[in-house]
Structure 1
Amino acid sequence: MPKETLKYTNDEVTVVWKPKLCIHSTICWKGLIEVFNPKERPWIKMDGANSEKIIEQVRKCPSGALSYFLNAEAPADNNTADKVVAESANMLTVEVTPNGPYLIKTECLIVHSDGREETKTGTVALCRCGSSANKPYCDGRHRKIGFEG
């Protein structure tokens, strides 16, 4: 079973990876293979680029599986997994990705069918294809089944 949260750090920045949120868009490694290489272990190599390039690439993650914090600004309780750098906290954006999930960008409340409530911050990827094993969240299976829409 994969860990809930993994952290990779250099002197300036820490990248937080939440595998369960990953929709396997490939944006991270196609944009910066020197840092994000799924064929290597560990797959994130913080010495592969400077901190600015790493931050720029992490911000492109469509699912919110990758986030970061500056080490100098780390919260005192060190609960860094909950800190996500959001582009705009005041505006809700819902993006329908071609042949992929709905991307909701902001803070939102998810109410599950069993009544559980969960607040998500940053980007949330919701399944559109119906095949995710992690509903209501996308797990990337739309690519495996050839979903179009």
Structure 2
Amino acid sequence: MTEREFKKSAGSTKSAKNTIIYGRTISRGEASGTVLLTKDPISFLGNVDPKTGKIVDPAHELFGKNIQDMVLVFPTGKGSTVGSYVIYQLKKNQTAPVAIINLECEPIVAVGAIISEIPLVDKLEKNPYEILKTGDRVLVNGTDGFIEIL
């Protein structure tokens, strides 16, 4: 049994800090940062300015907020396949989130995260909306498929 299988069989720890929650690896890598959470799906083409990292759609819950250097938590992506390239532009412009957590990732966000080397996990054992809030600090380990609340 690997260390991950052992930890997973024991379940997630109960305390808020240092809680480890397993999910599915989408994009490898590891990053930690501050959570910016929305229950709205994100279309990177049209919702996000790749030059500034700000959410520019006035109808979006995060309108005016900046995703740069945040752990961005949102249910899923939506919209044009060009969204993958917008995520890549965000990374090149140093305005990208440091990591992404989805309820269920779709191909547009997955491809964008992979080509931009942004760690991404989805399908967590626990609903992220029940355990995370904006301002929390988390580590996202896309390589081993878990998050840790810091």
TM-score norm. by structure 2 comes to 0.24
Which has the larger helix fraction? 2
Greater RCO between the two (CA within 8 Å, min separation 6)? 2
TM-score norm. by structure 1 comes to 0.25
- The structure number with the bigger radius of gyration is 1
